[in-house]
Amino acid sequence: MRTTLTAAMAGVAAAGLAAGALTACGGTASGAAGTVGAASRRSMELIVGTRSDDFYVSMECGAQREARKLGVSLTITGPAGFGAPEQKQLIDEAGLTRPDALLVAPATDTPALDPDLRRVQQAGTKLIFVDTAPADPALGLTRISSDNAAGGRLAADSLGRLLAGRGTVAVISVARGVPATDARVRGFRQEMAARWPRIRLLPEQHDNADSVTTAAALIGADITAHPHLRGAFAASVIAAGGVASGIARARRSGRVKLATFGADPQQMAMMRSGTIQLAIAQEPGAEGADAVRAGLAALAGRPVPKHIATPLVAITRRNMDSASVRPYVYVSSCG
């Protein structure tokens, strides 16, 4: 059960839902109708990290559903690729259109967006960060995200059990300096050292090109150098695809147990086929919904927590089709 909102925020959401129900049934209570009217006049914009990633598609779907429930006018934009230059133009455009609230997943490998975000905030738009956030703590009212270090620890514990506490494990991540993946690897290493001392972790390798081809080559090199490799940890969706491909190419699927981050349709297909054994998944739909609720609470003058945590789950072939895990599996469209 998610407990990500304070009672004050939950009250705002409940008021909007109750009002929507009364309106649908033809109710005429002025207080409820006023709540819906106030919400429907609120404009929000969500700028996702990229429109080409199923994680962000799932976030869009959650935000859309919540906006419809609460009568919020929501616009969704996002660049074709994840990066500050691509997002800068969209943030600057939001500064001109001035939505009541801007929900944004900023590229976090650079502070280049901070001046643009600051101008939006100073103009009076409520700023909500979802999944990622800038380093400047003065920006934004709240930060909605999973605990990436905790996700790394969960991956370590789950993989440690799969390996019965023994063996050599490769670690493949993206370029250094991306806070989310750095935290995942840090949590993974710390937990392995603390709980699984008989598992040897190879030096971390970095897919600086953020390329499936590069990640496949990195794991291939590890397998060649360590023929008895028993496990691998891929800290991003792209790294997961590349490492899975490299393991399959080396004909080691199933023998090298692969723990990944993310749960897009391709990863779930690879899990079903036995190439991936474990996926640590976030709940991006919940992050999108929480962002809409936080924005509406802020616009109503209600207190908003500085951080709203969303849960993580370890997906395996055994539980991947269960109803409790389904919300964590990313989607390619909101149909």
Taking only the tens place, the pLDDT of each residue in 169-188 is 999 999 888 888 999 999 99
- Which region among 34-38, 98-102, 149-153, 179-183 has the lowest average model confidence (pLDDT)? 34-38
For residue 106, which of 67, 152, 145 has the smallest C-alpha distance?
145
Average pLDDT over residues 18-27: 32
Task: Return the beta strands (E) in the chain as ranges.
Answer: 43-47, 73-77, 101-104, 126-130, 142-145, 167-174, 199-201, 205-207, 231-234, 257-261, 278-281, 307-309, 313-315
Strands 43-47 and 101-104: parallel
Separation of alpha carbons 61 and 284, rounded Å: 9
- Side-chain half-sphere of 226: how many Cα atoms within 13 Å? 17
What are 75's strand-pairing partners?
45
What are 142's strand-pairing partners?
128
Average pLDDT over residues 118-128: 96
Q: Which residue has the tokens 């033809």?
A: 26
**Can you read off the two tokens belonging to residue 35?**
């709540």
- Tell me the whole-structure pTM to 2 decimals: 0.82
Residue 67 pLDDT > 80: yes
Residue 19 pLDDT > 60: no
CB 158, CB 206: distance < 8 Å? no
CB 157, CB 195: distance < 8 Å? yes
What are 126's strand-pairing partners?
101
Q: Which residue has the tokens 């304070």?
A: 6
**Can you read off the two tokens belonging to residue 95?**
């500064």
Average pLDDT over residues 102-124: 90
**Can you read off the two tokens belonging to residue 40?**
């429907």
What are the structural domains of the chain? 7-145+284-311 (3.40.50.2300), 148-281 (3.40.50.2300)
Give the angle 34-40-46 at the CA atoms, nearest 5°: 145
